[in-house]
Amino acid sequence: MQRFTNPRDLYHGKGALEALKTLKGKKAVICVGGGSMKRFGFLQKAQAYLEEAGMEVALIEGIEPDPSVTTVMKGAEKMLEFQPDWIIAMGGGSPIDAAKAMWIKYEYPECTFEDMCKIFGIPELRKKAKFVAVSSTSGTATEVTAFSIITDYEKGIKYPIADFEITPDIAIVDPELAETMPKKLVAHTGMDAITHAIEAYVSTVASDFTDAPALYAMDHIKDDLVKSYNGDMEARDRMHNSQCLAGIAFSSGLLGIVHSMAHKTGAIFADYGAHIIHGAANAMYLPKVIAFNAKDERAAKRYAFIADYMKLGGETQDEKIANLIAMLRRMNDDLNIPHCIKNYGADSYPTEQGFVPEDVFQARKHDIAVNAIADACTGSNPRQPSVEEMEKLLDCVYYDLDVDF
Ligand SMILES: NC(=O)c1ccc[n+]([C@@H]2O[C@H](COP(=O)([O-])OP(=O)(O)OC[C@H]3O[C@@H](n4cnc5c(N)ncnc54)[C@H](O)[C@@H]3O)[C@@H](O)[C@H]2O)c1
Ligand SMILES: [Zn+2]
């Protein structure tokens, strides 16, 4: 038996934020990030809609990108003081993910971060509050997923919390919120979304229910992402739906080792002055992982099917997979994303000498490989890498080498 779970309601289209008016309850807390939602007036609108619905509203502001365990614990304390019956999380993946983890701690104050990280081990929520997620980036799709990614900065590692309990009750997919994204954010979050769709499609637990949204999403992202990046607002609006469909696919279909590697490399070089941004990490690693996974016959067939579906050409299975890899690398070029960590600058743009020094990468490679294999996303990858293979893959994503193993 398999399970396919989504939010109870999904409001979409321009102006969908207004759905907040229809909520019934006494108290709502709105969780937001560093200021973009306030700057563009969406926070004020959300607050006004909730007040129109007769609710008292409190704010948790300033949730940082790649949110920390400390932020989660502090936010949960505020929730425990205020006792909301609705949690409204607005913004990119960071504030929404942080709010999901705060929600667990609010409902179960004795629950530790380690408890939360037990995969599919979250106790029953909704005893105190329900959850609305309003996404402002077109990538993580956390508004529909059973996941939350929290960073433990002491270890420099991102941990996925995974349980259908944290699938939001209501998702609001309003493209107006995504129209204010700067170009770089469009590029990174969009490549995150196509990675979700492709990883979900070849996952070992993919099903008819996840294949359908995955294929739709990846094909449309291929057509729309570069246009959106270059300022086509109709393409930007379509991207907001496509990324959400990719989320519907991977929330139940799960992911693979592109994400395992991105989770374990994202913050591990922070002492050298930057993060490898999640979407950019995925964009660099995906072509290498496709070549690695294609040694598995079922995965190879599925990648070739993707190439056919996207009309990328090619006669043989190998040619089709090569065309898929080439198409993804072209997207990286068009979006100003480097092909490997060695060329990844502290500002995320391609550069001759990136911010991660070669000797530091080599010194940390073994630990990253061990941690990536232990990541929750590895279990559903089509091929289970050994530590040695993961180390080789890491070399390929550092130096942009061909994968021949
Ligand atoms: N839960 C999941 O299923 C899932 C999936 C993939 C990634 N993630 C996680 O999500 C996080 C990344 O989220 P993200 O990529 O959405 O970015 P983000 O939430 O970290 O936001 C990045 C920056 O963009 C700004 N921003 C957000 N929306 C904006 C808008 N509309 N206009 C202008 N500025 C805006 C924010 O203020 C912030 O400074 C990472 O921690 C990643 O690991 C979660
Ligand atoms: Zn992702």
Q: How confident is the model at residue 21 (pLDDT cuts 50, 70, 90)?
A: very high
Q: Does domain 9-178 have CATH number 3.60.70.12?
A: no
**Going by C-beta distance under 8 Å and a sequence separation of 6 or more, which residues neighbour residue 188?**
139, 277, 278, 279, 280, 283, 337, 348
pLDDT of 146 above 90: yes
* Ligand 1 pocket mutation, candidates 278, 335, 348, criterion most atoms within 8 A of CB: 278
pLDDT of 156 above 80: no
* Ligand 1 pocket, residue 158 CB under 6 Å: yes
Amino acid letter, 356: V
Chosen CATH of 183-399 out of 1.20.58.1000, 3.40.50.300, 3.40.1180.10, 1.20.1090.10: 1.20.1090.10
Mean pLDDT on 234-261: 98
Q: Which atom belonging to ligand 1 lies closest to the Cα atom of 151?
A: 41
Mean pLDDT on 157-167: 92
Domain limits, the chain: 9-178, 183-399
> Backbone phi, then psi, for 293, in 5-degree steps?
-65, -25
Q: Where are the alpha helices (DSSP H) in 270-357?
A: 278-293, 297-309, 317-334
Whole-number pLDDT of residue 155: 83
> Which DSSP string corresponds to 191-249?
HHHHHHHHHHHHSTT--HHHHHHHHHHHHHHHHHHHHHHTT-HHHHHHHHHHHHHHHHH
310-365 pLDDT tens trace: 999 999 999 999 999 999 999 999 999 999 999 999 999 999 999 999 999 999 99
> Backbone phi, then psi, for 85, in 5-degree steps?
-105, -5
For residues 352, 187, 136, 381, the Cα torsion angle rounded to the nearest 10 degrees is: -90
Query: What's the rounded Cα separation, in Å, for the pair 45 and 38?
Result: 9
The helix (H) or strand (E) run that includes residue 9 is strand 9-12
Query: What's the rounded Cα separation, in Å, for the pair 203 and 196?
Result: 10
Instruction: Output the average pLDDT for the chain.
Output: 97
* Ligand 1 pocket, residue 97 CB under 6 Å: yes
pLDDT of 173 above 80: yes
The helix (H) or strand (E) run that includes residue 12 is strand 9-12
Note whether 257 and 11 are within 8 A (CB): no
39-49 pLDDT tens trace: 999 999 999 99
- Would you state the structure tokens that stand for residue 264, as one six-digit string? 């374990």
Which residues crowd ion ligand 2, with CB under 5 Å? Answer: 192
Query: What's the rounded Cα separation, in Å, for the pair 307 and 319?
Result: 9
32-46, 56-70, 145-159, 265-279: the lowest-pLDDT one: 145-159
Whole-number pLDDT of residue 154: 85
pLDDT of 51 above 90: yes
Mean pLDDT on 247-259: 98
The pTM of the whole model exceeds 0.75: yes
213-233 pLDDT tens trace: 999 999 999 999 999 999 999
Q: Which atom belonging to ligand 1 lies closest to the Cα atom of 250?
A: 3
CA 92 to centroid of ligand 1, rounded, Å: 3
3-state helix, strand, coil in the chain (%, to 5): 55, 10, 35
- Would you state the structure tokens that stand for residue 298, as one six-digit string? 């079922």
Q: Which atom belonging to ligand 1 lies closest to the Cα atom of 259?
A: 6
Q: Which atom belonging to ligand 1 lies closest to the Cα atom of 189?
A: 15
The helix (H) or strand (E) run that includes residue 96 is helix 93-107
Whole-number pLDDT of residue 119: 86
* Ligand 1 pocket, residue 265 CB under 6 Å: no
Whole-number pLDDT of residue 388: 98
pLDDT of 159 above 90: no
